[in-house]
Amino acid sequence: MINFILCDEEKAFSDCLYGVIFNFFMNYDIECNFTKCVRYDDKFEKIVKNDNEFKVYFLSRKIKDKLGIEVARKIREVYHDWTSIIIIVDSSNAYKYSAFSSRLQILDFINKSEDYETVIKEDLEKCISVYDRRPNCLKIKNHYVMNFVEYKSIICIEKEQDSKNCIIKTTYGDKIYHGTLNQLEEKLNHKRFIRTHRSLIVNGDYIEYYDIKENKLVFKDGTYTFLVSRNKKKEIFEYVTVNQKSKNVVKDN
């Protein structure tokens, strides 16, 4: 999914921007989500903090007393988000040079007083190119819509009981995959994923500790599972021992 965050006080421009993007993606099998903001406030801050897949920001150069370029700096340097795409929007080209020279990886600077629809479409082509080339992502298709789920956001993947589906549990919510766990395992090309059971694959980065006596695998968000098969106990125990440095990671008594 591509999440578009449109930040501008001018409703007419924001509505037009939404229309251009929406119509553009009618020709693609990529799911899109839209959020409109009229100021850089707590609502916007929550969006920035939320790890909700791939983001494309359209930031107004200035909303009241806050500058879009400073918001972009916060996204990059405070929240360490260098994967999202940022586009600055203004009514003139006066600040274009400062935006591109900021070293914040600004994709484009759009002038609202010019033929911005053409420029937006060109930028959207670039967004799709970046989206398709993302490394370390699980690529799945549901109902003809393509989704990319970043490996780093996957906590675990569990076979849904009494169905042929799998539940991909991520840091921002669950996703349903219409297929088998074996099929997903073949797609997960990364050593951080461990098959602990015929019904479960876990992301080792999210393991808090493993209680081998109770056969209880606890994740960093407080959830836990007992889906560790007998022949996988030693592997999980060794993985947690080697990869987690804290003394309390493994409980073996």
What pLDDT shows up at residue 28?
Answer: 86
Domains 2-132 and 137-251 agree in fold:
no
The tens digit of pLDDT for each residue in 2-12 reads: 999 999 999 99
Per-domain residue ranges for the chain? 2-132, 137-251
What pLDDT shows up at residue 251?
Answer: 54
Q: How confident is the model at residue 190 (pLDDT cuts 50, 70, 90)?
A: confident
Q: Is CATH 2.60.40.1120 what the domain over 2-132 is classified as, yes or no?
A: no
What pLDDT shows up at residue 20?
Answer: 95
Alpha helix stretches (DSSP H) within the chain: 11-24, 42-49, 68-73, 96-100, 116-132, 181-187, 233-243
Read off φ and ψ for residue 5, nearest 5 degrees.
Answer: -110, 110
- Alpha-carbon distance 168 to 163, whole Å? 14
What pLDDT shows up at residue 247?
Answer: 46
Tell me the pTM.
Answer: 0.63
Q: How large is the average pLDDT for residues 118-144?
A: 84
Token output for 48: 């920035």
CB 72 within 8 A of CB 88: yes
- Alpha-carbon distance 98 to 56, whole Å? 20
CATH, range 137-251: 2.40.50.1020
The tens digit of pLDDT for each residue in 62-88 reads: 998 899 999 999 999 988 888 899 999
What pLDDT shows up at residue 249?
Answer: 52
Whether the per-residue pLDDT at 253 is higher than 50: the answer is no
Whether the per-residue pLDDT at 248 is higher than 60: the answer is no
